[in-house]
Structure 1
């Protein structure tokens, strides 16, 4: 038995030594070099009240981080940038908002309205990085036609509650590539008794709560192979726990929004979602996030929203 134990120990040690030989130090000088580029994100819509452009310095994976002359790490927001937006006829410069190191560059859309069908050009320049440009065309609005609502009562974690479900229905525009994103909320109004102080009668109060619908990451849709057909979204759901048995529902409203998004936004959002799903999974295939920022990284996209509200109760 001892001979077998000693043999097992020797084999184990040899195996570990063999694994150690697989580790090889890499000379940083042999790694490829690349010119640092700005990271820019901007999404525009006719429904927005604010135009916001986020300009960031890249985060270094190897080597030292980029710093300005003041020694601040410009990891999140890049100061000193000149940001302009043009619709081909008019050009506007977006000032920095939020202090010396701006949170973003932006203006009120009343100064520069976003119009469906127009192509916009974004330009960002900075003394430390090459100038970047990007273009996108604002898609037209597509109106949803129906909300299919349902609910299921039960218990979860020992508490009674109700799960509400909603699907959005719309007619796809034929003869063109379309990309969609669906979101929504459940708005519930209830009355609930409020106990105040002794010798004071109990009174009812009205409360309104909003529950966002969760689509489990399946809220992006394309009309590929279903062009011109009637489309139905994935099921969005909201879970609501009933902590008070005396609570009474007096109003229930589904509000769902259909965003007709451009291809830039769709490709970027879809790959970011897949990258998030693969995070920290050593067996997942790497996901390369696309960029339509010429000379930099990020996304300049557009969308157009239409909202449908249905009163269930």
Structure 2
């Protein structure tokens, strides 16, 4: 019996040694090199006052990530995504189905290509193509603006205050409904924002202590704990009533930077203007944002299979999509 145990132990040690010999450290120089791709994000709507295009470089999966100052980027309050660096020297052209086109210039202060919508109005039902020629490759994407909109109907708004003194902040809880556009496939998302006149008081030690008044817009976020989704489809729900998740807008405690000066905001006491938006979006918009949302909610869990992020950008990554939105304003 003792002989059998000794043979078993010898076998175990030999097996472990054999396993260890299979582990080889590969130097970084011999790893396959990832290829940077152009990442394009642009979202257009007839209701927007500007056309914005964000061009960045993808971060290869292999290799060491270097933080170059560009972290998370936001474009038009639509998408938050990780980027490897802004592409500044591209030629960006937007074209409609009639072959009318416009060049979109780069605005360095915003690290984004920006054009006033009045120079190239976006129209419902029209198809647009965007092309970008960059030093690391050329990309192209197309989208069609949905033709119809639907308005926010019943809504519920609750307010409360948290904190005290200079840390006091006002919080809005918002929900609203809308009716699905019947007899067609639709994809929706929603937005909520509040514009309020604030009294901005300079921080102590500022040369000019005179307060100023300024309208500031605060954008809400959606808490999906009530099982409603931020991105919804009318599959099997044609013509029915849709509802938002729980919307939260909080403001009043964050410092404000205006013209290089730092201010502490307080409420002026005037009424707030609340904007409730329903976006009838393209399928490209829905598929992309929903996939990003699902991946973000996994919080890096290694035991959950990642969801592939779709793209409609040829030779690149990202999303170019359109929406047609209704905006209901409420004085509260």
Of 278, 283, 289, which aligns to 1:263?
283
1:169 corresponds to: 177
CA RMSD of aligned residues (A): 4.3
Displacement after TM superposition at 1:114 (Å): 0.7
Residue correspondence of structure 1 range 153-302 to structure 2 within 5 A: 164-186=172-194, 211-216=218-223, 218-238=229-249, 251=271, 253-302=273-322
Of 123, 127, 147, which aligns to 1:140?
147
Instruction: Tell me, yes or no, if the aligned pair for 2:196 and 2:216 is still in contact at 8 Å.
Output: yes
Closer, same or farther: CA 248–50 of 1 in aligned 2, 3 Å: closer
CA displacement 1:33-55 (0-9 Å, x = unmatched): 66543211111111222222222
Closer, same or farther: CA 63–96 of 1 in aligned 2, 3 Å: farther
Unpaired segments of 5 or more residues in structure 1? 1-15, 66-73, 192-205
Larger radius of gyration: 1
Closer, same or farther: CA 20–182 of 1 in aligned 2, 3 Å: farther
Displacement after TM superposition at 1:150 (Å): 4.0
Displacement after TM superposition at 1:182 (Å): 1.1
Instruction: Tell me, yes or no, if the aligned pair for 1:119 and 1:138 is still in contact at 8 Å.
Output: yes
Secondary structure class of the residue paired with 2:222:
coil
Secondary structure class of the residue paired with 1:215:
strand
Closer, same or farther: CA 105–27 of 1 in aligned 2, 3 Å: same
Q: 1:76 and 1:227 mapped to 2: Cα distance?
A: 42
**Range moving further from structure 2, 256-265 or 227-236:** 227-236
Closer, same or farther: CA 299–210 of 1 in aligned 2, 3 Å: closer
Displacement after TM superposition at 1:57 (Å): 2.4
Closer, same or farther: CA 53–208 of 1 in aligned 2, 3 Å: closer
Displacement after TM superposition at 1:269 (Å): 1.2
Unpaired segments of 5 or more residues in structure 2? 1-15, 66-82, 200-212, 254-266
1:92 corresponds to: 101
Of 136, 143, 157, which aligns to 1:128?
136
Q: How many residues align?
A: 273
2:25 corresponds to: 25
CA displacement 1:247-269 (0-9 Å, x = unmatched): 99663554211111111111111
Of 136, 156, 162, which aligns to 1:149?
156
1:81 aligns with 2:90: yes
TM-score with structure 1 length normalisation? Answer: 0.69
1:108 corresponds to: 116
Instruction: Tell me, yes or no, if the aligned pair for 1:96 and 1:103 is still in contact at 8 Å.
Output: no
Displacement after TM superposition at 1:111 (Å): 1.9
Secondary structure class of the residue paired with 1:268:
helix
Q: 1:126 and 1:189 mapped to 2: Cα distance?
A: 42
Residue correspondence of structure 1 range 7-18 to structure 2 within 5 A: none
Displacement after TM superposition at 1:58 (Å): 2.5
TM-score with structure 2 length normalisation? Answer: 0.66
Secondary structure class of the residue paired with 1:121:
strand
